[in-house]
Chains A and B, each alone.
Chain A
């Protein structure tokens, strides 16, 4: 990755953020460990997922065969007729075995491919009854993108940095789904609203109407959508806030404190969709929590593996601020201006620094800092 791309993705400025060798190593270790635990969690969750597919299989097996109609190209090619019990159990067992292999040997490409292919095949058998549901898609994509991932316990030397970068790209690639969802909203709020007549999500009655439609389509009581109508002014505000929160989702793995904003947004987004549109992406929530939780913040073993900070010092104000972080190895990280404030906040508590990793926050804060009058000397 070019230095310019790297600094853009990370929201950093190499002229104002000087990470020492120890600082870079600590940062990489944290990412690699977080990715390792996420992968362990995903693999364990995969066993639960297979069990869930078994329960679904029991239900689908009761449906008349004449109603089976594969909706995906994979389903049409692999299963032009409803899958037999033996074939289904064969694929499920293969997937379970491959997951077990991945737990033992996380980088075994053959096992990773087997997990991804089996998961895609199992879902293809279900996508044959009226609609392709997206609810398991994050899970599927997580296994597809993990095929070559150099996941595992941290290696040595240069490989840690490469492992960390791969983990960031992996998580960013998955979160790009939400970035796309957020970006579409901006297009709809602007271009579509200008070019096409009709209701947009910025209309206060849009969400209550669509909630009423969802509830009516599923023959639920209309009490909830009618209650939403009473607070309809909240929804356009929520829509705009959601668009702004989802759009930078893919950057969060590169600006890791931002994960503390993005992950709750993703969870609340899916919970809200479950309540309003009966879009039951509850398993997606489990996958997102497993994959994007910053385990390095609270797993003691990870904290112990890092080189401790011996001393941190902040001086100056505004654009002249300096924050120095000295490690036990005597290496020193130096941050200047806005980055000094952000680093100090980050060392105190990630959630305090998270908003300052939002795209554009640097630009805004730097301009404010430059216009900040010098403090009188005491």
Chain B
């Protein structure tokens, strides 16, 4: 391949990448998958979504002889760095919540993840924690909770 041909091909590849990035956004807006790998549209953090109220999920665990539930904070484990623990949990819980008629194995996968994180517990609950970020930033530490799943061995 000659140098002029390489130059043209490089430009074409870059132009295709740019068009596919914007195309990826178009597909997303039309209800398609999040992004066309590996052409992302780089709209990261363009809007402060979740500033008013946000929901995050946590695993609560209880041993067979324990009365009280223990909240398990997000933390690094043997197989998950901290960030990926949070992502995996939210992703699994989100799929299970969307599967309201329990037609898939989404709930079982949530239970599997909970047992992976807290293998010694007899029971696990997935609790939705409704948090208020603006209040948190001001030092007002408050969140509401509601149980979304309960798993017992």
- Knowing A150-B6, A210-B50 are in contact, say whether A219-B45 is a contact too (CB < 8 A): no
A229 touches B138 (CB 8 A): yes
Q: A181-214 toward B: CB 8 Å interface, digit per residue (1/0)?
A: 1001101100010000011110101111111110
Contact of B134 among A132, A205, A217 (CB under 8 A): A205
A222 touches B136 (CB 8 A): yes
Say whether A144 faces chain B, with CB atoms less than 8 Å apart: yes
B88 touches A170 (CB 8 A): no
- Knowing A163-B3, A177-B42, A216-B131 are in contact, say whether A67-B112 is a contact too (CB < 8 A): yes
CB of A166, distance to nearest CB on chain B (Å): 5
A16-63 residues with Cβ-Cβ distance < 8 A to B are 59-60, 62-63
For B137, the chain A residues whose CB sits under 8 A away are: 205, 208-209, 211-212, 222, 225-226, 228-229
- Knowing A129-B87, A130-B92, A229-B138 are in contact, say whether A147-B13 is a contact too (CB < 8 A): yes
Say whether A127 faces chain B, with CB atoms less than 8 Å apart: yes
For B141, the chain A residues whose CB sits under 8 A away are: 222
Q: Which residue of A lies closest to B79 (CB)?
A: A62
Say whether B73 faces chain A, with CB atoms less than 8 Å apart: yes
- Knowing A63-B116, A72-B37, A229-B138 are in contact, say whether A201-B47 is a contact too (CB < 8 A): yes
B50 touches A148 (CB 8 A): no
CA distance A159 to B3 in the complex (A): 7
- Knowing A60-B79, A145-B14 are in contact, say whether A181-B44 is a contact too (CB < 8 A): yes
Say whether A90 faces chain B, with CB atoms less than 8 Å apart: no
CA distance A173 to B20 in the complex (A): 13
Q: How many residues of B contact A (CB 8 A)?
A: 65
For B139, the chain A residues whose CB sits under 8 A away are: 222, 226, 229
Contact of A67 among B44, B82, B92, B131 (CB under 8 A): B92
CA distance A72 to B24 in the complex (A): 13
A62 touches B56 (CB 8 A): no
Say whether B40 faces chain A, with CB atoms less than 8 Å apart: yes
Say whether A244 faces chain B, with CB atoms less than 8 Å apart: no
B134 touches A180 (CB 8 A): no
- Knowing A131-B91, A217-B86 are in contact, say whether A155-B42 is a contact too (CB < 8 A): no
CA distance A64 to B92 in the complex (A): 13
CA distance A274 to B112 in the complex (A): 30
Interface centre among A72, A200, A217, A280 (most CB of B within 10 A): A217
Say whether A327 faces chain B, with CB atoms less than 8 Å apart: no
CA distance A209 to B50 in the complex (A): 9
A217 touches B74 (CB 8 A): yes
For A289, the chain B residues whose CB sits under 8 A away are: none
- Knowing A149-B6, A206-B51 are in contact, say whether A169-B17 is a contact too (CB < 8 A): no
CB of A364, distance to nearest CB on chain B (Å): 28
Say whether A9 faces chain B, with CB atoms less than 8 Å apart: no
Interface centre among A73, A120, A219, A222 (most CB of B within 10 A): A219
B3 touches A180 (CB 8 A): no
CA distance A185 to B44 in the complex (A): 9
Say whether B23 faces chain A, with CB atoms less than 8 Å apart: no
Say whether A124 faces chain B, with CB atoms less than 8 Å apart: yes
- Knowing A59-B81, A213-B133, A226-B137 are in contact, say whether A140-B13 is a contact too (CB < 8 A): no
Say whether B97 faces chain A, with CB atoms less than 8 Å apart: no
Say whether A87 faces chain B, with CB atoms less than 8 Å apart: no
Contact of B38 among A66, A140, A201 (CB under 8 A): A140
Q: Which residue of B lies closest to A60 (CB)?
A: B79
Q: Which residue of A lies closest to B78 (CB)?
A: A62
- Knowing A130-B91, A205-B137, A209-B134 are in contact, say whether A278-B83 is a contact too (CB < 8 A): yes
Say whether A218 faces chain B, with CB atoms less than 8 Å apart: yes
CB of A315, distance to nearest CB on chain B (Å): 38
Say whether A141 faces chain B, with CB atoms less than 8 Å apart: yes
CA distance A178 to B46 in the complex (A): 12
For A273, the chain B residues whose CB sits under 8 A away are: 45
List 10 tightest A-B contacts by C-beta distance, closest first. Answer: A130-B91, A173-B14, A62-B79, A130-B87, A148-B9, A72-B37, A212-B136, A219-B73, A208-B137, A209-B133
Known: A67-B92, A148-B13, A176-B18; 11 extra A-B contacts, CB below 8 A, are: A132-B37, A134-B44, A144-B38, A177-B42, A185-B46, A187-B46, A211-B137, A213-B51, A213-B133, A219-B75, A225-B136
The contact sample of 19 A-B pairs, CB cut-off 8 A, is: A59-B79, A63-B80, A67-B109, A72-B37, A120-B37, A148-B9, A150-B3, A150-B10, A166-B10, A166-B11, A184-B42, A192-B47, A201-B48, A206-B51, A209-B136, A216-B136, A226-B138, A278-B83, A280-B83
